[in-house]
Structure 1
């Protein structure tokens, strides 16, 4: 993280879009189940924050209660979504892409890729944020699986 201060190229620095971060997690859900979790009220509450009612679609602007905002640029169901994503305290928005990818054994990998981050410190903060989000999504997936098994 201190490479930048020492004049070295730090981890995550791109040639033209600032800093980037990518976090992936494989969940015990089918592609459709994972997508449904991501776009559910609980799922959006994790990757954006608590919002009013919505129906996700390209062009939609979202504002969370904590001031985090997003503008959906691309929304391809059961595949991916791209958006500008900005915390209230940031001067500029970042670019966020969320994908669902098929994995072996009927599981699904959820991927968060974020670009246009200002510096390595913001990158580190967002790394921890997306790791927390994927941990919580995994917990929700496990709870959904338990619920299905108990039926």
Structure 2
């Protein structure tokens, strides 16, 4: 009996719809990046009041619930069900921090993963967006290390 194999386009999964992954390396320890991520970056990027570190906690925008924390490994990963301003449906959004290989010095790999996207065009638009956001983080972090102020776009 011959089994049929299914070859999906890049970004299309069997069970999570379309998804994307974007990652960058920052020259700072994970603990420092985690603090900035939860206190500054995620609220700004996602348009939320805050991002709690407790599974089941709501995430709010303008006093209204716009998602929930569905996973959290403090210092390493936060996973949300979240409805972006630009979409009319809920997605799953995750940010993971990983210590970079020693060859890169004291650095952290920051990865954004988003799934439950409805099509290739939606995926590409968000992929472009998150690439710009993380490029801005890297550039701003570099300016900060050089003595400038950290000013991020969202």
Q: Which runs of 5+ in 2 are unaligned?
A: 1-6, 149-154
Map residues 11-30 of structure 1 onto 2, 5 A cutoff: 11-30=10-29
Contact 2:20 2:115 in 1 (8 A): yes
- Structure 2 CA distance for aligned equivalents of residues 39 and 119 of structure 1: 29
Measured after TM superposition, the shift of residue 30 of structure 1 is 0.8
Query: Cα offset for 1:68?
Result: 9.5
- With normalisation by structure 1, the TM-score equals 0.78
Measured against aligned partners, the alpha-carbon deviations of 1:17-73 in whole angstroms (never above 9, x if no partner) come to 1101000000111111111111122x1244312x436654322222335x9933111
Counterparts of 1:117 and 1:53 in 2: how far apart (Å)?
A: 23
Q: After superposition, where does 1:1-151 map in structure 2 within 5 Å?
A: 9-41=8-40, 43-49=41-47, 51-52=48-49, 55-64=52-61, 69-88=66-85, 90-104=87-101, 105-147=105-147
**What residue ranges of structure 1 are gaps of 5+ in the alignment?**
1-7
Check conservation: 1:68, 1:88, Cα contact below 8 A. no
2:96 and 2:61 map into 1 onto residues whose CA distance is 21
Answer whether contact 1:68 1:86 (CA < 8 A) is retained: no
**What value does the CA root-mean-square deviation take over the aligned residues?**
2.5
User: Which fold has the larger relative contact order, with Cα–Cα distance below 8 Å and residues 6 or more apart in sequence?
Assistant: 1
- Taking structure 2 as the reference length, what is the TM-score of the superposition? 0.76
Task: Name the residue aligned to 1:5.
Answer: none
2-structure distance, mates of 1:141, 1:83: 25
For 1:40, what is the secondary structure of its paired residue?
helix
Looking at structure 2, the residues matched to 136 and 17 of structure 1 have their Cα atoms a distance apart, in angstroms, of 28
Residue 4 of structure 2: aligned partner: none
CA contact (8 A) 1:68 1:87 kept: no
